[in-house]
Chain A
Amino acid sequence: MPASATTDLGEVSDIDLVKLSQAGDTRAFDTLVTKYRGRIYAMTYHLIQNETEAWDLAQEAFIKAWRALPNFKQDAAFYTWLYRIAHNVTYDWLRKKKIQGDGEFDDERTEHRVAAGAEATPKGDAAPDTALRNAELGQRIQEAIARLSPEHRQVIVLREVEGLSYEEIASLVPCSLGTVMSRLFYARKKLQEQLKDVYETTL
C-alpha cells in the first residue's frame, strides 16, 4: 500500500508530492496530475486548437513526466519542469504534423473549441448582448490565433497566456531573445491585421 494511501494529498506541497511520486507512489502523482491537468491541457489546446489531440498530448506529457521523475532534481518548480515537457511534447507534435499558419487555416481544428468566452468572459452580470459580443470576440481571437504559424502561435501563447518573460520563452523554445521579439512582433502584427475591425482606433 503506498505511503500516501491513508493521507489526504490535497494539501501536500508539490515538493512532497514529487518525492512521494519519485518513490513510486502513483496516488501522489495522480494528485499532481489533478492539480495541473487544466493548465497543461490549456497550453496544448491553445497551441494546436484541437480538443482531442490536446487531450492526448496533455496525457502524454504527464506520462513522460512520470518516466522522467527520477531525474527531476527539484532545482526548478515542478510545474515549470512539467510545462517544459508538455511544451516539447506539443511542439514535437506540431513539427511532425507540419501545420503551417498563413492561409492554411483548417476549420476542423477549432470545431471542438471550448465555447469562446465562456470561461474567459469576466464574471458579473453582463447584459446578454455584451456577453454575446464577448463570446464572438473570443471566437474571433481564437480563430486568428489558429491561423498563425506554429512558431508565432507558440510565442503568443507563452507570452500572453502563460505570462513568460522573453528570457523564459527563449530558453523554452529555444531561440535567441531577438527571435522571441521578432516572432512576438510579427505574430501581433498578423493578429492585428486579422482583428483590424476590432482593435483599430482613430486618431
Chain B
Amino acid sequence: MKPPSEDHDLIRWLDGEMNDTERASFEARLNSDPMLAKEAEELRALSAGIQAHLPVELKVPHADFFNSQIQVRIAQMDLEESRQRQDGTASLRDSLLAWLRQPWFTAAGAVALAVLGFIWMRPQTQDPGHSLILSSYTPSLGVEASTYHDNDADATVLMLDGLDEVPADHKISGISVHRSETEPEIAATTLFDATGAPLLVITRDDAGHPLFMPNYPRG
C-alpha cells in the first residue's frame, strides 16, 4: 500500500478534488506510471459501479403509511405539549391522549376500497362528544381523503375523492358510533353503539401494527 499522501492524491484526483495545477501534475504521473494508471482505472470503475447500483433515492415501502405515521406522531406531540401547557402538574403519561384508527369501507360493484382514518379522541370523561381526525390513509392511490367537522351536524365528515361511482341502488350499511372509551394503559379505544354495545376495539399488536377487533368482548 502506498504512503498516505500518494493515496490521497489518487482519491483526490478520482473525486475531482484537485485544482487544475494538481490535476495536470497528477495526470502526468499517471501517464508515466502504468501501475498507478491501472490502480486509478480500477478505482474509477469501482466508483462508477457503486454509483450505478446504490440509487440516491429508493421507493419507500408503504409510503402512505410512512407519512400517516409521521402526522400521527406530530399530532401526538402537539397535543401532549398543549396538554402540558394547560396542566403543568399533570404527568406526561397521565396527560397522553390515545389516538384511534378507524377503518372506513365502501364498495362499488365487486371492488372494495378500505380507508383507514387515524382518529384522536379525547377520553370520555373529559369531552365525550368531540373527536379530531389527525390524518388519513387511503391504500388506493387514486383516492384522496379529507375531513372536516360540521358544527351544525356536530359530526366529523370524511370526504373520499376519487372513489368509483356507487350505483344509486347500492345499499351501504354503516355503523353509528355513539361514544368511545380510550384506555391509555393498554393503548386501546373502544367504539360503542347507541345501546352501549361495543362495535370495534382499536389497538396495536405486539409489532405495533394497527389492530381492529370488531365486536370484541370486553372484560
A residues engaging B (CB < 8 A)?
Answer: 1, 24, 26, 29-30, 33-34, 37-39, 41-42, 45-46, 51, 55, 58-59, 62-63, 66-67, 114, 116-117, 119-122, 134, 137-138, 141-142, 145, 156-157, 159-163, 165-166, 178, 181-182, 184-185, 188-189, 191-192, 195, 198-201, 203
Contact = CB atoms under 8 A, between A and B. Distances in A.
A142 B54 contact: yes
Contacts of B55: 42, 119-120, 161
A38 B7 contact: no
Interface in B5-63: 7-8, 10-12, 15, 17, 34-35, 38, 41-43, 45-47, 49-63
Residue among B45, B54, B62 with the highest chain A CB neighbour number at 10 A: B54
A160 B58 CA distance: 15
Contacts of B50: 141, 145, 156, 160-161, 191
Interface of B: 1, 4, 7-8, 10-12, 15, 17, 34-35, 38, 41-43, 45-47, 49-63, 66-67, 69-71, 73-75, 77-78, 135, 148
B56 A26 contact: no
A122 B71 CA distance: 35
Contacts of B43: 188, 192
A163 B51 CA distance: 9
Given A117-B53, A145-B50, A199-B49, A1 B148 contact: yes
A26 to B, nearest CB: 6
A187 to B, nearest CB: 10
Contact of A141 (B41, B54, B60, B75): B54
A138 B56 CA distance: 14
Given A119-B58, A157-B54, A192-B42, A165 B17 contact: yes
Main secondary structure of the interface of A (DSSP, over half): helix
A182 B11 CA distance: 9
Contact of B38 (A66, A160, A201): A201
B66 A203 contact: no
A145 B46 CA distance: 12
Nearest to A37: B60
B53 A37 contact: no
B67 to A, nearest CB: 5
Given A30-B71, A67-B77, A181-B12, A120 B52 contact: yes
B49 A30 contact: no
B51 A59 contact: no
Contacts of B49: 137, 141, 195, 198-199
18 contacts: A26-B75, A33-B67, A34-B67, A38-B58, A41-B60, A42-B58, A46-B54, A120-B53, A141-B49, A141-B53, A161-B54, A178-B8, A181-B12, A188-B43, A189-B1, A199-B46, A201-B38, A203-B34
B42 A200 contact: yes
B67 A114 contact: no
